[in-house]
Amino acid sequence: GVEVESGGETFVAEGNEIILSTGAIASPQILMLSGIGPAAHLEELGIPVVHDAPGVGQNLRDHPVVWVTWRTKPEIDLESLAFEPRSQLMLRYTATGSDLRNDVKISMSNFATDRVDRGGNRMVPVGVRMSIILDLAVSSGELKLTSADPNEQPSLFYNYFAEEFDRQRSREGIRMALKLAEHPDFESIIQERIEPQDSNIESDDALDTWMMKEATTGQHISGTCKMGPASDPMAVVAQNGRVHGIEGLRVVDASIMPDCIRANTNVTTMMIGENIADMVRSGS
């Protein structure tokens, strides 16, 4: 069954099968709080181990993003700029030397703000930016519990750019964005580059340092309860969403993707639900 807290009341809902569909953050969190996860981690928090599943919370995948930002000239109306082709740009390409097709994306935005984590106001634009998005990173992170209390948020370690291949591709994307900004259609609206500064791009090491500091989430977290055969010790669910080693439990959301797809995750997640719903109806 499922222990539920609603309106100040706690009760247990029972059924023949439990389908966990709470997303790539909450699904591994709930599994671990229920005793399904890496045994050593659960024991650290005093959670009784129901099933040692080392892959729960591991393989955290995402689309890491870094921004190249420019201040626009005072006479440029950013609202009008939104309707011009030069601010509707999105470039998908395969990085130099990569065998992962369409693994990088550069997206233009006509509404760039100062970073909120530095005291900026999200509603006050300063100019335009290009987002350099690594659509298929090879680095992966992990999600861990911070407490046995379900009201406490888990810890997410994204581990962005841990692999040189990821850093190499993102560096190339940043330099491509800088080159695009030299085009007359962009030069005519740009007053100055806000970030990265010249000192940040003078060498690979300098750019790596800047990227590691500036990288942020693409908000496409996935992979934390990855699908795979039972022979894979890090696989959490089978192709029908059933949790390996546990009867009557499935996970159906973005957490079961073995890797982050090269696109937004919402439609793929919907299709995962549609397909596994068919399997549930057919009894598989």
pLDDT, tens only, 248-262:
999 999 999 999 999
- The per-residue pLDDT for range 74-92, each reduced to its tens digit, is 999 988 888 888 888 899 9
- Euclidean distance between the first and final Cα of the chain, in Å? 20
Averaged pLDDT for residues 54-58: 99
Is the predicted pLDDT of residue 44 greater than 80, yes or no? Answer: yes
Write down the catalytic residue from 51, 183, 220, 244.
Answer: 220
Q: What is the mean pLDDT of the chain?
A: 94
Task: Give yes or no: 244 in active site.
Answer: no
What predicted TM-score, i.e. pTM, was given to this entire model?
0.91
What's residue 85's pLDDT? 85
The stretch 25-33 carries a mean pLDDT of 98
120 has a pLDDT exceeding 80: no
In DSSP notation, 151-174 reads TSPPEEE--TT-SHHHHHHHHHHH
∠ Cα 236 241 245 (to 5°): 45
For residue range 90-104, what is the model confidence (pLDDT) as tens digits? 999 999 999 999 999
How far is 20 from 193, CA to CA, in rounded Å? 46
| 204-214 and 164-180 helices, crossing angle to 10° | 100
pLDDT in tens, 133-189: 999 999 999 999 999 999 999 999 999 999 999 999 999 999 999 999 999 988 889
pLDDT reported for residue 104: 98
Whether 113 has a pLDDT exceeding 90, the answer reads: no
Give me the long-range contacts of 107-115 (CB less than 8 A, separation at least 24): 107/131, 107/133, 110/78, 110/81, 110/82, 111/78, 111/82, 112/67, 112/69, 112/70, 112/194
pLDDT at 15 (0 to 100): 86
Find the mean pLDDT for residues 65-72. 95
